[in-house]
Amino acid sequence: MNKLLGKSIALLAACFIGSAYGSGSSYPLDHFPVEKLTDQSALQNGAKLFVNYCLNCHGASSMRYNRLRDLGLTEAQISTNLMFTTTKVGEPMKIALRASDAKDWFGALPPDLSVIARARASAEGSGADWLYTYLRAYYRDSTRSTGWNNALFENVGMPHVLWQLQGARGVSIEDIRESRDPKTGKSAGFTKTTVSFDTAGLRTESSEKISGGHPHAGKTIKLGKAEGGSLSQADYDSQIGDLVAFLTYMSDPNASSRTRLGVWVLLFLALFTVFAWHLNRVYWKDVK
């Protein structure tokens, strides 16, 4: 009971900490390539990316290393290539970073990612869609202490740890707002403010009154092409798909086996329904 309570408290803390890292956005979600969830090589590559790029700061305390055997890896492969903070393959995927150091360095403890793919699900899309979009939506922003910002997660606290793979992107943000007369409170038209960041993070801003047409208040974010990365955009998207596939698997390791079992259960129920209908017909045929 105490362990269950402790996990619940940790999960709630992670949610609060995650919200402290930045604010939300109306940026549209891209569709995660769901076929990667059944691609064993993609899941193995995702595990490698997670260990090398995420597990430095973010733990996955509800996931044990030996569960990676479900992805076709042997204990020897797991111990040799994926374990850096422990020597026991049955240990959870924890980090060496102490909570006190994390608060001193980052201002908050980076959230645990055990169930992040489930926690980020919403009416706009699945948690996998959110993560897939988020990890591909970074742009340079020299006004931020980290030098980075995110189109989906505005004012995010986490820097772009995969920038060497993707490269740097610029962005153009158009914000249309309605201005009102301070005396009468009536509409005084619309103003469009455009804020741009180049691939070095340099900021420019311009504003103009909108005349004519039927403008609507709102914000539009257009990301530029990534430059300077070691991977092409298509290859980077594929790598992120692998990473998100692993994060999705990690949030529910039994999902695939449960799905397979569900198919057999439905087939059994369908067959049982046929037998039950036939038995009912035989039983009642002589009853008037």
Residuewise pLDDT in 10s, the chain (288 residues): 444 434 443 443 344 344 333 344 579 999 999 999 999 999 999 999 999 999 888 989 899 999 999 999 999 999 888 888 777 888 888 887 888 888 888 778 888 999 999 999 999 999 999 999 999 999 999 999 999 999 999 999 899 999 999 999 999 999 998 888 777 777 778 889 999 999 999 999 999 988 777 778 888 999 999 999 999 999 999 999 999 999 999 998 888 788 888 899 999 999 999 999 988 888 888 775
Which residues are CB-neighbours of 121 under 8 A, at least 6 positions away?
Answer: 127, 130
Question: Given the DSSP bridges, would you call strands 60-64 and 92-93 parallel, antiparallel or unpaired?
Answer: antiparallel
207: phi > 0 → left, psi -120 to 50 → alpha, else beta; which?
beta
- Sort 92 into a burial class: Cβ within 10 Å, 0-12 / 13-18 / 19+: middle
Contact 156, 21 (CB under 8 A): yes
Domain ranges of the chain: 2-166+230-253, 170-224, 260-288
Quickly list H helices, the chain.
Answer: 2-20, 40-49, 75-81, 99-106, 116-119, 127-134, 163-166, 233-251, 255-284
How far is residue 40's CA from residue 109's CA, in Å, rounded to a whole number? 32
Quote the pLDDT of residue 53: 93
CA distances from 117 to 60, 132, 210 (A): 12, 10, 41
Encoded amino acid at 100, one letter: S
Quote the pLDDT of residue 125: 93
Quote the pLDDT of residue 288: 58
Quote the pLDDT of residue 16: 37
Question: What b-and-e string marks burial along 13-46, b requiring 16 or more CB atoms within 10 Å of the CB?
Answer: ebeebbeebbeebebebbebbeebbeeeebbbbb
141-116-5 Cα angle (round to 5): 130
Question: Given the DSSP bridges, would you call strands 218-223 and 171-180 parallel, antiparallel or unpaired?
Answer: antiparallel
Which tokens belong to 288?
């008037």
Task: Decide which of 3.40.50.2300, 1.10.760.10, 3.30.1490.20, 3.30.1370.60 is the CATH code for 2-166+230-253.
Answer: 1.10.760.10
How far is residue 71's CA from residue 43's CA, in Å, rounded to a whole number? 7
Three-state SS at 274: helix
